[in-house]
Amino acid sequence: MWMIEIPPFIPFLIGALIAAFTRGVLRNILMIAVPIISGLHLWMVPEGIHLQFAFLDYQLSPYRVDKLSLMFGYVFHIAAFIAIIYSLHVKDTLQQVSAMLYAGSGLGAVFAGDLLTLFVFWELLAFTSVFLIWARRTPQSYVAGMRYLIIQVLSGVILLVGALFYAAENGTLDFSYIGLDGIAGWLIFIAFGIKCAFPVAHNWLTDAYPEATVTGTVFLSAFTTKVAVYALARSYPGTELLIYIGAAMTCFPIFFAVIENDLRRVLAYSLINQVGFMVVGIGIGTALAINGAVSHAFNDVIFKGLLFMSMGAVLHMTGKINGSDLGGLYKTMPKTTILCIVGAASISAFPLFSGFVSKSMVMSAALEEGYDWIWLMLLFASAGVFHHAGIKIPYFAFFAHDSGLKASDPPKNMLFAMTISAGLCIAIGIYPSALYALLPYDTGYNPYDATHVLAQTQLLFFSALAFVWLNLKGMYPPELHSTNLDCDWVYRRAMPLVFQNMFSAIWKIDRMVRDTIKEKLGHSFTYLASKNNRLSSLLSRNHPSGSMAMWVAVMLAIYLLLSFVK
């Protein structure tokens, strides 16, 4: 029984320690063994609270197991296993140790039964994952990592303050349904929203993920936002505000992804788009919607990881990742091309691929609950994701014009990791009942209803037709070497301009006031100045202290006037 009480993050912490002091084949074997052993152990753990103790009059539960946490626990073990295999060629101890600690932190968060334990792992997620960005060792990665760390730590601080308010209001730190009834609920909601990349608070993701190492981005895509999705599903199911936030998340990244040149940044925008579907499902809150959100999170970890791995393979073999610099690689990287297309089909929700069996649940739930406009937004978002992730990624990387690059397929470990992900994408799409058996609710949903299949097939067909037509007409946004500021435009462009104009207006008013005072009170000041040459020099506008002296004199005059009136 004592084995059951070992939380799944413990093996990863031990694995990180081993990775720090081992090298070569031994390190690789031990790192691969960690998610396998931990995953098998988790499979045998029954539901319930397996670890609990008192702390400052509160009951803390660092290890709580139920269907919701198990769902994320399983996929986190799968993601860690695939990402570790993908990174076996890396000899950087910093990356290997950080990756193991990061995966362990994600597991600690989803099995946390109280808000204090959640806060600890929430912050550990930030401090461990930032090294996967810094490990690239470029000025851009350092700056992006600093921004990432600051925002993630801020999210944790807000979560801690919210937890303290929640404990004061309710007398408990239990991590369960919270809602938006009080200030604690709103603070925790904001903390979760930051890590979930809500609109306007999303730039940390699109800025940092593309600057991480080739293998680091694969780890990053699996854990941070999915932990936030889990937290929302645990604490805010049925919160209607999430429906509208999620719908916005599905739509706005499309426009930025279409014009983005960096293909890993395109996938970062696509990640926000997919998380939006999950957030909508959580907001709807029905059994079908929650199942859709959770299953789509499961599938997204796998197919988004596959796409990041394929683009990482391109970057690893060519040193380039901008669409304008790539093209024609299908000739020399045929295996990577095929695996990338599988990921593209999955994220685009082609029938018989994993994305179809989960995304359709969220859309069906939206229709069932009468959210027709939200359904239309999700439909638009589905067409958009096919454009920027389903077509743009494989087209500009492997087809389009011939870039002249002659790179070969990546090392075998990278290909093997991508093959595992591709196999899972196809297996889940063909046999979804295996995935549905793990979901929190039994809804008897059938994804391969004739209406669903026909509607999705028509959507994909016309989306592909639109892409071809726009491309032939030269109307599709070209791949250009440029910087997409996104929401950063507000403080990089708009705010400096506003402050510049504001201070310019203040100085104009200051000059007008001083000129008026000098004109109106000139005779008095002239008389006083004639008595004292030093004072005359002091009140000169050209004197360094002239402005200060002028204002002191004005304040003195006002004070005397008010005293006289009183």
pLDDT tens per residue across span 34-44: 999 999 999 99
- The confidence score (pLDDT) of residue 227 equals 97
- The confidence score (pLDDT) of residue 495 equals 72
The end-to-end CA distance of the chain, in Å, is: 85
> 560 pLDDT exceeds 70?
no
Picking from 329, 298, 331, 313, the residue whose alpha carbon sits closest to that of residue 264 is 313
Average pLDDT over residues 281-298: 96
Strand partners, 13: none
Strand partners, 49: 64
Task: Indicate the DSSP class of residue 186.
Answer: H
> 452 pLDDT exceeds 90?
no
At residue 60, what is the residue type? L
- The confidence score (pLDDT) of residue 490 equals 74
Which tokens sit at 512?
A: 């007008």
Q: What is the DSSP string of 6-42?
A: S-THHHHHHHHHHHHH--HHHHHHHHHHHHHHHHHHH
Average pLDDT over residues 342-368: 94
> 216 pLDDT exceeds 60?
yes
pLDDT confidence band for 566 (50 / 70 / 90): very low
Phi-psi region at 481: left, alpha or beta (left = phi > 0; alpha = psi -120 to 50): beta
> 456 pLDDT exceeds 70?
yes
Percent of the chain at pLDDT exceeding 90: 66
Picking from 219, 309, 315, 224, the residue whose alpha carbon sits closest to that of residue 272 is 224
Tell me how many degrees the CA angle 495-498-501 measures, rounded to the nearest 5: 150
pLDDT confidence band for 561 (50 / 70 / 90): low
Burial class (CB in 10 A: 0-12, 13-18, 19+), 262: buried
pLDDT confidence band for 555 (50 / 70 / 90): low
Out of 55-64, 140-149, 241-250, pick the least confident: 55-64
Strand runs labelled E in 352-478: none
pLDDT confidence band for 553 (50 / 70 / 90): low
> 521 pLDDT exceeds 90?
no
Burial class (CB in 10 A: 0-12, 13-18, 19+), 36: middle
Tell me how many degrees the CA angle 96-67-278 measures, rounded to the nearest 5: 75
> H or E segment at 62?
strand 58-65
Question: Within 10 A of 500 (CB to CB), how many other CB atoms are there?
Answer: 10
Average pLDDT over residues 244-264: 93
Q: What are phi and psi of 8, to 5 degrees?
A: -65, -15
- The confidence score (pLDDT) of residue 544 equals 47
Burial class (CB in 10 A: 0-12, 13-18, 19+), 102: buried
Task: Return the C-alpha torsion angle 418, 312, 403, 383, nearest 10.
Answer: 70
Average pLDDT over residues 196-223: 94
How many CA atoms does the CB half-sphere of 214 hold within 13 Å? 22
Angstrom CA distances, 302 to 27, 82, 297, 298, 307, stand at: 24, 9, 9, 7, 9
> 564 pLDDT exceeds 80?
no
Tell me how many degrees the CA angle 467-402-478 measures, rounded to the nearest 5: 40
> 563 pLDDT exceeds 80?
no
Q: What is the pLDDT of the chain when averaged over all its residues? A: 88
Strand partners, 48: 65
Domain boundaries, the chain: 237-484, 495-565
Paired sense of beta strands 48-55 and 58-65, if any:
antiparallel
Burial class (CB in 10 A: 0-12, 13-18, 19+), 424: buried
- Are 307 and 344 spatial neighbours (Cβ–Cβ below 8 Å)? yes
How much is the pTM?
0.87
Q: Name the residue with higher pLDDT: 481 or 160.
A: 160
Helices 354-368 + 263-284 axis angle, to 10: 40
Average pLDDT over residues 431-459: 90
Which tokens sit at 320?
A: 């380039």
Out of 52-61, 235-244, 245-254, pick the least confident: 52-61
Which tokens sit at 561?
A: 């006037």
- Are 289 and 365 spatial neighbours (Cβ–Cβ below 8 Å)? yes
Q: Name the residue with higher pLDDT: 59 or 3.
A: 59
* Per-residue pLDDT reduced to its tens digit, 119-174: 999 999 999 999 999 999 999 999 999 999 999 999 999 999 999 999 999 989 99
Average pLDDT over residues 226-236: 97
- The confidence score (pLDDT) of residue 479 equals 65
Average pLDDT over residues 313-341: 93
Out of 197-211, 395-409, 454-468, 516-530, pick the least confident: 516-530
